[in-house]
Amino acid sequence: MKHLLRLIPLALLPLYIYSQPTIYPPDKIWGQLFTDVQMQKILPDGKTFVDMVPKRNPKDIMYDYGMMKGPKFDLKKFIDANFELPPSPQLNYITKETDVVMHIKNLWGVLKREPDKQVEGSSLLPLPYPYIVPGGRFREVYYWDSYFTMQGLKESGETEMIHNMVRNFAFLIDTYGHIPNGNRSYYLGRSQPPFFALMVELLAEIKGDSIYQNFLPQLQKEYDFWMDGHDKIAKGTALRRIVKLSDGTIMNRYWDDYPFPRQESYKEDVETAEKSGRNKTEMYRHLRAGAESGIDFSSRWFKDGKNITSIQTTDMIAVDLNCLLYKLELVISRAHLINGNDSMVSVFRNKANARRIAIDKYCWNKSLKFYCDYNFKTKKVSPVITPAGMYPFCVFQGKPDYLSLLAKQASEKITNLLLKDGGVTTTANTTGQQWDAPNGWAPLQWMTIWGLDRCGQRVLARDIAKRWIKLNVDVFNRTGKLMEKYNVVDTHLEAGGGEYGGQDGFGWTNGVLLALIKKYGVE
């Protein structure tokens, strides 16, 4: 009976789903108005307009726009008159706490959002349960951000919020067939690094094994999304997120189903594609796939290692993505074990074992002694060392001695190339992109520390954790804020690069910092 009661909220979700009206992305709703606003850049950044809510019926706004356009037409004034600016409530939050832990615990309430209501013309995809947003310009829930936010929610005793967020992601899977980048209509063409299985595992550690049973249907649907087309492609070809290598090995890449500029970065994508001189559709695919990876953008994806115009994301078998899918296969196997379905336990255990063998074969760079991405078109392993290469040490099962040996070799690269005063950089390259040096990001600190600690490199793990904690606390003491990203090379300077300015709040920074302070303390 208890199991049945736990299942009731999810069982009721179809009623909620079918009540949803059809949602169109901003470029479809606003047509030429959308293009004019984005290309003229009359707002702070491209994400501002696509998050705005119309003050009246969209059809009436578009009729007036067509009638009023002319040589003396003031587009900015028209937007101000017809749209509400998206709110950023944390900007009104005045920091009074001197203790960073208490500050974070108070911030959960500021970053919390209640269940959504559908608003005509809004890009927001309504969610049925409360959730935590990152902060700043990121006013919606984000997929991979949320796993790291949950680490802090756990330390704060916010168990029900974790459960609600997992329910929301299950709802998104049931409604749209996958978890979008974020709960916005313009994000529906892509997902993000698939951490749903790790979220379910985290919640199960708190609430018990029944959690695996409750969310098994959504775990399977998540897997089906990433593996769509695996049975339809020939050797040496790729389809959506699937790559089938010449030996028949199936692995995954990042992808986006839409072949046009990102609505929230429309002007930037159009200009990048034009500057590249390459096929524009191909460029938009690579840029969107980079956004799905969460690493948007980085020399990790650049052919020449320097310029975004050489981006080649969809050509890469990403080591972090395949490790997360390996973990998903293991979690599905465990859920079937709890259900007593022995045949499916073996099926998914075998899938995971095959994927692990493939990751070792194609992503271990023998000369660098580090896990890297594999370019399936050039048939070469990437020479770019990034914290993505630490994911295997976080999730691989079995062969502890073998993993310990590889972790020792990998730790030398981390120390020599990425370790700086404030933690680890995202790459050793300085390109002006936000996922390159000198920037460090909370999720990559977490995965690096976790992998090193799990595989015997505990001294280095502690060292990185201490450096990151000190940097976060120092910036908080100077500014009263916790930031999206940090300059780990010169800890007195702000992080920079990318398509927008620094954002505060900040969900995954808060979560990782609380969890690291719990484990390693703060000086």
Please report, in angstroms and rounded to a whole number, the separation of the first and last CA atoms in the chain: 48
| Average pLDDT of span 325-343 | 97
SS (H, E, C) 282-309: HHHHHHHHHHHHCCCCCHHHECCCCCHH
Q: Is the pLDDT of residue 1 over 50?
A: no
| Domain that includes residue 345, residue range | 232-253+318-383
CB pairs under 8 A, 24+ apart, for 89-95? Answer: 90/135, 90/136, 90/504, 90/505, 95/480, 95/481
Catalytic residues: 296, 484
Q: Is the pLDDT of residue 95 over 90?
A: no
| 83: Cβ contacts below 8 Å, ≥ 6 apart | 49, 52, 53, 54, 55
| Average pLDDT of span 362-387 | 98
Q: Which of 53, 69, 84 is the last residue of a domain?
A: 84
Confidence of residue 440 (pLDDT cuts 50, 70, 90): very high
pLDDT of residue 399: 85
Q: Are 519 and 500 in contact (CB under 8 A)?
A: no
Q: Is the pLDDT of residue 510 over 70?
A: yes
SS (H, E, C) 482-502: CECEEECCCCCCCCCCCCCCC
Q: Is the pLDDT of residue 443 over 80?
A: yes
| Residue 288 is assigned to a structural domain of this protein | yes
Cα–Cα distance measured from residue 512 to residue 465, given in angstroms and rounded to the nearest whole number: 10
The DSSP secondary-structure symbol of 73 reads -
| 83, containing H or E segment | strand 83-84
Q: Is the pLDDT of residue 5 over 60?
A: no
Q: Which two tokens stand for residue 17?
A: 């789903």
Cα–Cα distance measured from residue 51 to residue 28, given in angstroms and rounded to the nearest whole number: 14
| Average pLDDT of span 16-44 | 83
Helix axes 143-155, 196-207, angle to 10 degrees: 20
Residues 296 and 322 in one domain: no
pLDDT of residue 90: 56
| Average pLDDT of span 381-385 | 98
pLDDT of residue 502: 87
Residues 311 and 322 in one domain: no
| Average pLDDT of span 434-454 | 98
pLDDT of residue 398: 87
Q: Is the pLDDT of residue 11 over 60?
A: no
The DSSP secondary-structure symbol of 310 reads G
Find the farthest-apart pair of alpha carbons in the chain and give their distance in angstroms, rounded. Answer: 73
pLDDT of residue 319: 99
User: What distances in angstroms separate CA 199 from CA 4, 6, 481, 487, one per listed residue?
Assistant: 21, 17, 27, 28
On average, the pLDDT of the chain sits at 94
Percent of the chain surpassing pLDDT 90: 90
Residues 241 and 349 in one domain: yes
Q: Is the pLDDT of residue 436 over 60?
A: yes
Q: Are 518 and 101 in contact (CB under 8 A)?
A: no
| Residue 506 is assigned to a structural domain of this protein | yes
pLDDT tens, 307-322? Answer: 999 999 999 999 999 9
| Residue 47 is assigned to a structural domain of this protein | yes
Q: Is the pLDDT of residue 8 over 50?
A: no
Output the pTM of the full model.
Answer: 0.95
| Residue 455 is assigned to a structural domain of this protein | yes
Q: Are 244 and 237 in contact (CB under 8 A)?
A: yes
Instruction: Report how many domains make up the chain.
Output: 4
pLDDT tens, 14-23? Answer: 333 334 457 7
Cα–Cα distance measured from residue 360 to residue 400, given in angstroms and rounded to the nearest whole number: 15
Q: Which of 272, 300, 316 is the last residue of a domain?
A: 316
Residues 291 and 329 in one domain: no
Q: Is the pLDDT of residue 380 over 90?
A: yes
Residues 492 and 372 in one domain: no
pLDDT of residue 10: 45
Question: What is the amino acid identity at position 26?
Answer: P
pLDDT of residue 94: 73
Residues 311 and 324 in one domain: no
| Residue 72 is assigned to a structural domain of this protein | yes
Residues 374 and 417 in one domain: no
Confidence of residue 516 (pLDDT cuts 50, 70, 90): very high
| Residue 93 is assigned to a structural domain of this protein | no
Q: Which of 84, 109, 128 is the last residue of a domain?
A: 84
Cα–Cα distance measured from residue 442 to residue 140, given in angstroms and rounded to the nearest whole number: 19
pLDDT of residue 89: 61
Q: Is the pLDDT of residue 305 over 90?
A: yes
The count of C-alpha atoms lying within 13 angstroms of the C-alpha of 176, restricted to the half-sphere facing its C-beta, is 26
Confidence of residue 91 (pLDDT cuts 50, 70, 90): low
pLDDT of residue 369: 97
**Where is average pLDDT lowest: 91-105, 204-218, 245-259, 481-495?**
91-105
Buried b (16+ CB within 10 A) or exposed e, 34-54: bebbbeeebbebbbbbbbbeb
| Residue 304 is assigned to a structural domain of this protein | yes
Tokens 């909620």 belong to which residue?
16
pLDDT of residue 509: 98
Buried b (16+ CB within 10 A) or exposed e, 352-372: beebbebbeebbbbeebebbb
Residues 514 and 374 in one domain: no
Confidence of residue 92 (pLDDT cuts 50, 70, 90): low
Residues 309 and 291 in one domain: yes
Residues 350 and 421 in one domain: no
Residues 339 and 432 in one domain: no
Residues 408 and 514 in one domain: yes
| Residue 14 is assigned to a structural domain of this protein | no
